[in-house]
Structure 1
Amino acid sequence: MPRLLLTGANGFVGKILTVRLQQAGFHVTALSGNSTPVDSLADEHLIGDIRDANAMAHAVAQAKPDYVVHLAAISHVPTSFKDPLLTWQTNVMGSMNLLEAIKLHAPQAFVLFPSSSEVYGAAFKSANSVDENTTPQPLNPYAASKVAAESAFREYFRQGVKGVIARPFNHIGAQQSADFVTASFARQIALIEAGKQAPILKVGNLDAVRDFLDVQDVCSAYIELLKLADKPGHPSCLNIASGHSRKIREVLDLLLSLSSTKIEVELDPERLRPSDIPVAVGNATLLRETTGWQPQIPLQDTLRELLDYWREQARHAS
């Protein structure tokens, strides 16, 4: 059974990916950055801060991975504006620490680095959909740190580390933090239905257009990308995208249609991001041609599951 080290295993995607990896036949060692009990079903658990080079060396030596998936990151854009130093230390130096540990202690391991569609930034303004040849033009500290981390991975690939970079577009689903737009909508609707919030749903920019994916579809793409370990000459970077554009207003309307409660929508200026771009849609032709992957889960199904999740949370909210 191939051994896989998963960083960021205690996060939104990490918890879901752990189960999917096990179903795909991997022995999963979960690495998380805090000392609290790890909420993960992984086969093994390790604690280590990716900003600590010695901790990463120890973790990789102990895990003895054949594969590594590096999810650990500061991924919330507003947080990256508030604390850019932490963002860069985590996303860039953390990646460097992990890469150096892999080079020294698991040189045969295949590494998957999920970057982000945020790296394209201002490039979205000049294209209907971006592909991997589009030059990144990051517009926030999170995106800039991901571009820098990609550069680190490419350098280690040049030195002989095997791996691939993914650029996933907006992926959503149950368990995602309410810091993110669709989960925020679903949480507010659930609280309003439960009588725990006034019937006013606060929103940011509803005219922005985004490319939404179910987190399960993204996890499926990650598993397909791991199979490239046995296929020399594969692309070094691939988008994960639906290729379909949806206004955030449309997503909100779909969520509201799943509720029978009368809800008023109100703009909250604090939810407006300083670098919001009007349209962000991805071209995943390369991924489809390389692996055969295509998204399978309709957005309506994703939103229904998301809302049901927050309804359950609202029942237990004080």
Structure 2
Amino acid sequence: MTKTVLVTGSRGLVGRRLCASLRNDGFSVKELDLLGHGEHYGDVTRLADVETGIQGCVGVVHLAAVSRVVWGQRDPELCWRTNVTGLQNLVHAALAQSSKPWILFSSSREVYGQAPSLPVAETTELNPLNVYARSKAEGERVVLDARSQGLQTAVVRLSNVYGCTKDHADRVIPAFARAAVEGSPLRVEGSNHTFDFTHVNDVVRGLRALIGLFESGEQSLHPVHLVSGHPTSLGELAAICCRLAKSDAVVTEAAPRSYDVARFYGDPGRAREFLGWEPEISLEAGLIRLIEDFRQEHALHGAMEASA
């Protein structure tokens, strides 16, 4: 019998790749996303949408969120309603099912705030610095508390996932890669700010490994990083993009935003131990792929304009 998994936020960067991977492996996938159409449309803040979506599912991968720090700062109420109330709706709907579907919750490295030491392990105390981070920390509490009510749950913490030209244009890697290809200025907000960049294909492999543990009946999964474990500063990232694109684009520096974490890279050891997972795509290899994709899009756009 085909097993059905609900993926919320299915039209996002990770969601699109995960849905394809699940379908390729014989799962039936139900989608719930504000950007979806027809049966794939849904809003996690509406309990009725969630209750309809979860029917008949063995599990849920919850990716839907106000997913950017800056968006949370601009509209804190929407961020909290989506990221916390939406998740509470999901837990409520799961508990109402006779089969009790598992829930895999996508959290963020933002929950640590500015960690006291690097690399950051999953046991590091949470210290969220902004609205988005606080909503993710509260989401972790919600899904872990749901275990006492009989749900299988797990938390995965992600960091600066990249790898698709259809990602939000102002996220740092797609913004830098596109600018390098087009020869536009690369604006670096805090050149010494350092982060852990993880390719979307590696993240999807990690999520699939966690789903495998759910399917085997695992009950006590600890929060786990799906991170590269390698630090790269924004200044270095801009330089790498220009080098790989063979671009003479100008790199300009600007002051960092006051609500951003300045430094993070994570320890992927727990994922290696419990999931047999480690990243396979280096930052440079991932950027080469992305830059080539942007170059092809740029050439196609130019050809279309020329023929118009």
TM-score normalised by structure 2 residue count? 0.91
Q: Which residue is equivalent to 2:194? A: 209
**CA separation of 1:107 and 1:157: change in aligned 2, threshold 3 A:** farther
Q: Which residue is equivalent to 2:249? A: 263
Q: Which residue is equivalent to 2:107? A: 115
Please give the alpha-carbon distance, in whole angstroms, between the structure 2 residues aligned to 1:260 and 1:190.
Answer: 8
Please give the alpha-carbon distance, in whole angstroms, between the structure 2 residues aligned to 1:25 and 1:273.
Answer: 44
Amino acid in the other structure paired with 1:18: C
Contact 1:6–1:31 (8 Å) recurs in 2: yes
Secondary structure, in 3 states, of the residue corresponding to 1:287? helix
Please list the CA deviations of residues 222-254 of structure 1 after superposition, one character each: whole Å capped at 9, or x if unmatched.
000111212435433111122221212222211
**CA separation of 1:52 and 1:307: change in aligned 2, threshold 3 A:** same
Please list the CA deviations of residues 154-186 of structure 1 after superposition, one character each: whole Å capped at 9, or x if unmatched.
111111111211011221111321221111101
Q: Does 1:276 align with 2:276?
A: no
Please give the alpha-carbon distance, in whole angstroms, between the structure 2 residues aligned to 1:7 and 1:127.
Answer: 33
**CA separation of 1:116 and 1:51: change in aligned 2, threshold 3 A:** same
Please give the alpha-carbon distance, in whole angstroms, between the structure 2 residues aligned to 1:14 and 1:106.
Answer: 26
Q: Which residue is equivalent to 1:165? A: 155
Map 1:214-229; keep pairs closer than 5 Å: 214-229=199-214
Equivalent residue for 2:74, pick from 68, 76, 82 = 82
Q: Does 1:48 align with 2:42?
A: yes
Please give the alpha-carbon distance, in whole angstroms, between the structure 2 residues aligned to 1:172 and 1:215.
Answer: 6
Secondary structure, in 3 states, of the residue corresponding to 1:115? strand
Q: Which residue is equivalent to 2:274? A: 290
Q: Which residue is equivalent to 1:306? A: 290
**CA separation of 1:37 and 1:190: change in aligned 2, threshold 3 A:** farther
Q: Which residue is equivalent to 2:53? A: 59
Amino acid in the other structure paired with 2:139: A
Shift of 1:107: 4.0
Please give the alpha-carbon distance, in whole angstroms, between the structure 2 residues aligned to 1:13 and 1:251.
Answer: 21
Amino acid in the other structure paired with 2:83: N
Contact 2:45–2:82 (8 Å) recurs in 1: yes
Identity among equivalent positions (%) equals: 31
Q: Which residue is equivalent to 1:132? A: 122
TM-score normalised by structure 1 residue count? 0.89
Please give the alpha-carbon distance, in whole angstroms, between the structure 1 residues aligned to 2:91 and 2:219.
Answer: 21
Please give the alpha-carbon distance, in whole angstroms, between the structure 2 residues aligned to 1:249 and 1:268.
Answer: 11
**CA separation of 1:225 and 1:106: change in aligned 2, threshold 3 A:** farther
Q: Does 1:176 align with 2:167?
A: yes
Equivalent residue for 1:245, pick from 223, 231, 237 = 231
Please list the CA deviations of residues 204-225 of structure 1 after superposition, one character each: whole Å capped at 9, or x if unmatched.
1121111111110011000001
Please list the CA deviations of residues 293-313 of structure 1 after superposition, one character each: whole Å capped at 9, or x if unmatched.
011112111101111222233
Contact 1:107–1:161 (8 Å) recurs in 2: no
Please give the alpha-carbon distance, in whole angstroms, between the structure 2 residues aligned to 1:215 and 1:30.
Answer: 19
**CA separation of 1:107 and 1:155: change in aligned 2, threshold 3 A:** farther
Contact 1:114–1:168 (8 Å) recurs in 2: yes
Secondary structure, in 3 states, of the residue corresponding to 2:248? coil
Matched residue count: 299
RMSD: 1.8
Please give the alpha-carbon distance, in whole angstroms, between the structure 1 residues aligned to 2:159 and 2:45.
Answer: 26
Contact 1:76–1:179 (8 Å) recurs in 2: no
Shift of 1:72: 0.4
Please give the alpha-carbon distance, in whole angstroms, between the structure 1 residues aligned to 2:224 and 2:129.
Answer: 20
Please give the alpha-carbon distance, in whole angstroms, between the structure 2 residues aligned to 1:238 and 1:83.
Answer: 29
Q: Which residue is equivalent to 2:84? A: 92
**Structure 2 residues not aligned, in runs of 5+:** none
Shift of 1:116: 0.7
Q: Which residue is equivalent to 1:195? A: none
Contact 1:78–1:273 (8 Å) recurs in 2: no
